[in-house]
Amino acid sequence: MPGDHIVLELPEELRSELKEPLGPIYTDAEQLLGDATLPIVAVGDIVTYHLLAAGHTPAVALVDERTKRTDVEESVREAVVDESPFEETIAVENPPGTLTDGLLTALQSALEREPAATTLIVVEGEEDLAALPAVLAVAEGASVVYGQPDEGMVLVSADEAARERVRSLLERMDGSHRSVLDAFEG
């Protein structure tokens, strides 16, 4: 996929900090949905699968058909990708530990689409870091949900505290953090 060059890369020293969840952890999708504010951006195959199983199609979902570095189960791939309830699907490349311009552009355009259509972004590579720009990209108070391996689903309300923490993380990544901050906050 042409044009998917790396904009930001996660330095080794930030990896441990990213293990700290940006919000409360849920193991029950229905309880999470009761506490979430729409629209919801879901990051991860298992998170998306659980939200769909609970009867909610996220406004935007980013998946890579993998979980914990292995392929997702066939039933998850079928429910999320093959039999996708999303109105639109976009494919992008995004190597592990990075954010590419392709992923960032797809996220931004999916959230700006009028009328709002649900969008599945299928990532060749890894979508894990997409939760960070998603917190900046969604409307004030909207929700971002991502997976916390072996723990559950993290619900992030895009309030000023969450956005400030995300800004701090993005500013310490290698690459053009200013262009990402400007694009998603401008």
pLDDT digits (tens, 9 = 90+) for 31-68: 999 999 999 999 999 999 999 999 999 999 999 988 87
pLDDT tier at 102, thresholds 50, 70, 90: very high
Cα end-to-end distance, the chain, whole Å? 27
User: pTM for the complete prediction?
Assistant: 0.94
The pLDDT, as a whole number, for residue 1 is: 44
Contact in structure between 124 and 62 (CB atoms under 8 Å): no
**pLDDT tens-digit map of 157-177:** 999 999 999 999 999 999 988
Q: How far is CA 119 from the centre of its chain?
A: 12
So what's the pLDDT on residue 158? 95
Q: What single DSSP character describes residue 68?
A: T
Contact 62, 130 (CB under 8 A): yes
What average pLDDT does the structure give for the chain? 91
Q: What integer pLDDT is reported at residue 75 of this predicted model? A: 92
